[in-house]
Amino acid sequence: MIQNLIDGVLTGSYISLGAIGLTLVMHILRFANFSHAELLSLGAYVALVCDALVAALVPVFAVKLAPLSLTWALVLAILMSMVITGLSALLIDRLVFKRVREKGLELSMIFASFGMALIIRNVIGLFFGLSPQLYSRDIAFAMVLSRDPLLLVKPDQIFVLVAALLLMLMLHLLLSRTTFGYSLRAVAENPSLAQVNGVNLHRTIMAVWLIGGALAAVAGVFYGLSHQLIPVMGRDLLLPIFAATIVGGIGSVYGAVLGGFIVGIAGNMALVVLPSGYTPSVPFLLIIVVLMIRPHGLFGEARA
């Protein structure tokens, strides 16, 4: 029971990171981006390549930072992947979403993102093969927190949780203490009014893609570190991330964080009450319950 709760918090950390990017995009650009989760797999695979590159160029970095299964090479790879994935998100917007957006039909963006998701997922599959891959084949053993009841936590997961919380804190500061944060909120509230007041709409949108892509890359690597890399990981993560975004309320960064943890915990606690075959339904039952009580999510606001 308590073990499930702890597991849920740990799972929630990467779901939250993914949901933050999605909620920003959904809020500023006003569309449900089905290709967002593919940025997670893109980021994870880019890091896999960078990791191998760095480790080959500077072998010293390939040593593990015990007790983590993380290496310095992977840390550098994460940073590189953040940049590359952020730029990729920007590029995809430039090539596809921007053009579709300018045509201006409500559902076009959603379907364009669905099409992009298919493209990204299968291109990754063509490049890397369809089998699972790992950053490190060694198994990092869990630490025993308590014997009765038995509580186990893996050092990697603690690292993931701490790093995710730090990133969220940085994002919080960025949004609440900087001019950029204000302009972001202004655009979200009312794009034309914000423009009249001198906010560069174009640049704000670029920033949203960069931040969203970078956070997605981290989330993807953290997922890969905790589990494994597989080309369909984006598809598998899409639903929990969407659930987190919706439960938290579209547009609310704090909502996305909370939503991520709620979805993670619910997924892990579900087995306490439901037979294991039913786990995939849990995030949705949760969404429906939350939306029944709060039609715009926990932190979301009604808007036209």
Partner 1 sequence: MIGVMSYLVFFATTASILAIAVLGLNLQWGNTGLFNGGVVAFFGAGAYGTLILGGTSQEGHLGGFGVIYPLALLGGMAAAGLMAWIVGLLTLRLRHDYLAIATFGVAVAFENLMRNAEWLAGGAKGVRGFERPLRAALGDGFLYNILFFLVVLAILIATYLFLERLVASPFGRLLRAIREDEEAAQSLGKSPAKVRLTAFVTGSVILGLAGGLYGTFYAFVSPQDVLPTLTFQIWAMLIVGGAGNNRGAIFGAFLIWGAWTASGWALSRFAPIEAQLYTGSVQFVLIGSVIVGMLMWRPEGLLPERLVVSQRGSTPSNKQGE
Partner 2 sequence: MSITKYLWVAIGLAVSATALPGTAEAQDCTTKIGAVLPTSVDWGRPIAETAQFAVDQVNAAGGAAGCQIEMVLRDTQVDPKVGVDAAKALVDLEGVKLLLGAVSSGVSMPILTSVTVPGDVVQMSCCSSSTAFTKLSEDGKTNGLWFRTFATTGVQSAVAAKVAADKGYKTVAVMYKNDDWGQDMARLIAADFAAVGVEVTASVAVNDGQPSYRAEVTEALASQPESLYLALYPAEGTAAVREWISLGGTQNMILANSLKSDEFRDNVGLQYLGATLGTDTASPRSESADAFRAAYVERFESEPNGPGLANSYDATMIALLAMEAAGKDASGSDIAAAIAKVTDPNGTPVSADTAGFSAAKDVLSGGGTVMYQGGTGNVRFDKNGDVSAPAVVWAFSEGGIEEVEYMSLNDVDAFITSLK
Nearer to partner 2, 165 or 271 (CB): 271
The least distance separating partner 2 from the CB of residue 98, rounded to whole angstroms, comes to 29
The residue within the footprint of partner 1, chosen from 119, 134, 174, 175 (CB under 8 A), is 119
Q: Is 277 in the site for partner 2 (CB under 8 A)?
A: yes
- Which of partner 2, partner 1, none does 137 bind, CB closer than 5 to 8 A by kind? partner 2
Binding mask 237-256 for partner 2 (x = CB under 8 A): x--x----------------
Q: Is 139 in the site for partner 1 (CB under 8 A)?
A: no
Nearer to partner 1, 39 or 74 (CB): 39
Q: Is 272 in the site for partner 1 (CB under 8 A)?
A: no
Nearer to partner 1, 103 or 147 (CB): 103
The residue within the footprint of partner 2, chosen from 139, 288, 293, 302 (CB under 8 A), is 139
For the chain, the three-class secondary structure string (H helix, E strand, C coil) is: CHHHHHHHHHHHHHHHHHHHHHHHHHHHCCCCCCCHHHHHHHHHHHHHHHHHHHHHHCHHHHCECCCCCCEHHHHHHHHHHHHHHHHHHHHHHHHHHHHHHHHCCCCHHHHHHHHHHHHHHHHHHHHHCCCCECCCCCCCCCEEEECCCCEEECHHHHHHHHHHHHHHHHHHHHHHHCHHHHHHHHHHHCHHHHHHCCCCHHHHHHHHHHHHHHHHHHHHHHHHHHCCECCCHHHHHHHHHHHHHHHHCCCCHHHHHHHHHHHHHHHHHHHHHCCHHHHHHHHHHHHHHHHHHCCCCCCCCCCC
Site for partner 1 in 67-96 (CB under 8 A): 96
Q: Is 128 in the site for partner 1 (CB under 8 A)?
A: no
Nearer to partner 2, 125 or 191 (CB): 125
Site of interaction with partner 1 (CB under 8 A): 26, 32, 96, 99-100, 103-108, 110-112, 114-119, 121-123, 125-126, 130, 239, 242-243, 246, 250, 275, 277-278, 280-281, 283-285, 287-288, 291-292, 295-297
